[in-house]
Amino acid sequence: MVETRPEVPMAGVAMTAIGVAVVRVLESDRPDRLYDDPLAQVFVDAAKRGFVETEDGGERWAKLEALADVFYEGRTLSVRLVDDQVTEAVEQGCRQVVVLGAGLDTRAFRLGLPPDIRFFELDLPELFAFKEPILTSVQAVPTCDRRVVGIDLRADWAEALRVNGFRPDLPTHWVDEGVLGYLSRAEALRVAETLTELSTPGSRFGVVRFAADERPAQYSDLRRLVRADPEGERELRGLGPDAQQWLEAHDWHTTFRSWADLIAPFDRPNENSTDVGFIVAVRT
């Protein structure tokens, strides 16, 4: 078999997808793992080769791995919680799943979703230029109807979604694992407005709620690694602290689940306050 060597995303938000894949590799190697993701190792191996072949890539790869270790405990639990949200949404009637900023997501392959589920992955074209050849090279086959949409969320992604077979009349589960936090508040709200327009009653949307006053040093380190604009650290990003109120005002019924309650079934460290967790919104 000919070795696949796609171009590795080494800057910008697309690069964070590699860090999350490193986290999933670490979790999959544990005997008490919360999930198993063999494809994550394939992505990480390909990404590491690409990094170490560049002038400062070896150093940047070491920093990426170090940051993955720092974020590991919280990020790996988040992966499992989103897994559970997707499974629950499908069981409760959602026939479409849309992952915003999908990165190197592998849920279409590893969650055992039914073949009639349409699973849309939205992310930048350069991310899929790296991801898709690797999946093809290992002959990865999704269990559901997986569809890839390469587009920037600041563009007209709704039309691109429709062109790829999205049906607004079917209940949809919308997944955001943090990509809205890289958008300005105005941009994130436009995404929320668009997905609201595309959501029929019964659709679901999981939104992470962070502690508004926390800006740990590791987030600054992450922004420097992906070479994001440092000025953006002073700008309010994502849906903001009033996300739950915004959703309620736009015909979503919301329930807040604290991080502590969500991870209680797992024997993992919990250092987060009860203000942090997931807002689960259901379209009315």
User: Which CATH number does the domain housing residue 232 bear?
Assistant: 3.40.50.150
Q: Do the domain assignments include residue 28?
A: no
Q: Do the domain assignments include residue 59?
A: no
Q: Do the domain assignments include residue 68?
A: no
Question: In this predicted structure, what is the pLDDT of residue 13?
Answer: 76
Question: In this predicted structure, what is the pLDDT of residue 223?
Answer: 55
Q: Do the domain assignments include residue 201?
A: yes
Distance CA 154, CA 143 (A): 30
Question: In this predicted structure, what is the pLDDT of residue 234?
Answer: 47
Neighbour order of strands in the sheet with 96-100: 145-150, 118-123, 96-100, 172-176, 204-209, 277-283, 252-258
Q: Do the domain assignments include residue 237?
A: yes
Q: How far is CA 232 from CA 60, 67, 252, in A?
A: 21, 20, 29
Q: Do the domain assignments include residue 207?
A: yes
Distance CA 67, CA 21 (A): 12
Q: Do the domain assignments include residue 58?
A: no
Residue 257: domain span:
76-283
Distance CA 37, CA 24 (A): 7
Assess contact for 64 and 57: CB atoms under 8 A.
Answer: no
Q: Do the domain assignments include residue 70?
A: no
Tell me how many domains the chain contains: 1
Question: In this predicted structure, what is the pLDDT of residue 214?
Answer: 45
Please list the ranges in the chain whose pLDDT falls under 70.
Answer: 1-4, 57, 210-236, 271-274
Question: In this predicted structure, what is the pLDDT of residue 2?
Answer: 44
Q: 271: Cβ–Cβ under 8 A, 6 or more apart, which residues?
A: none
State the pTM of this model.
Answer: 0.91
No. of helices (H) and no. of strands (E), the chain? 10, 7
